[in-house]
Amino acid sequence: MSNIKNAFSNGKAFIPFITCGDPDLETTAKVVRAAANNGADLIELGIPFSDPTAEGPVIQGANLRALKAGVTTDKVFDLVRELRTDVTIPMVFMTYANVVFSYGADRFIKTCKEVGIDGIILPDLPYEEKEEFDSICNDYDVDLISLIAPTSENRIAMIAKEAKGFIYLVSSLGVTGMRSEIKTDLESIVAVIRENASVPCAIGFGISKPEQAKKMASISDGAIVGSAIIKILEEHGKDAAEYVGEYVKSMKDAVR
């Protein structure tokens, strides 16, 4: 069992997403520490990819800036190695199957274990094709985290039964990004998940304001926020850590 369960052990979890290397890796390290020190329960680290199909324009922009700055998967592994000297909360990678394939799946997942990454989220990996990654993840005790979307319908129970770490429930159709309101009937999806899963479930996509985070956490076990944090990074660049810390604190207070 991975470290991920600890993220949900003291009430509702707040989970920020940060693209590694936007605007540079030194800033990413400061932002991760600021998030951890201000109440983040688990951090999703995005490994930049040239074609991030699940992402809206905000996170796509962050991916492109990071790649332009010369960020590689190896440099991200080095970043995590350095963060793990003092950051103890669970951390997971969010990236794309191609990144793992091109690095070599066994080598990638083995390195995740070595540097202290607790799980990986691959939004473009269909449930039906997860086995080749899942078996390697099991070998190294790294959780392959399942996503459930409003379109999963009759597959929700099946995905939930096999889920590890936590379940990432996608709040709405489309790509990541801030939304003024979330209209999906998430309560009924969470009910099916709870009947079948042995792991917690957190809701992401479209959450940016404390009241949205509070509502999503009241339905599930936690709230995930990406685009709103990337916006702060876009605005403040190398000085973003302090502002991200304040934002994380406001969101954690809301989900509490």
| pLDDT tens column, 188-230 | 999 999 999 999 999 998 899 999 999 999 999 999 999 999 9
Share above pLDDT 70 across residues of the chain, in percent, rounded to a whole number: 94
Domain assignments of the chain as residue spans, ordered by start: 3-145+211-255
| pLDDT tens column, 61-106 | 999 999 999 999 999 999 999 999 999 999 999 999 999 999 999 9
- Report the pLDDT value the prediction gives residue 56, as an integer from 0 to 100: 76
| pLDDT tens column, 5-14 | 999 998 999 9
| Yes or no: domain 3-145+211-255 corresponds to CATH 3.20.20.70 | yes
**What is the pTM assigned to this prediction?**
0.94
Asked if pLDDT for residue 160 goes beyond 90, the answer is yes
Measured over all CA atoms, what is the biggest interatomic distance in the chain, rounded to whole angstroms? 46
Helix (H, G, I), strand (E, B) or coil at 19: strand
Q: Give the containing element (helix H, strand E) for 135.
A: helix 131-140
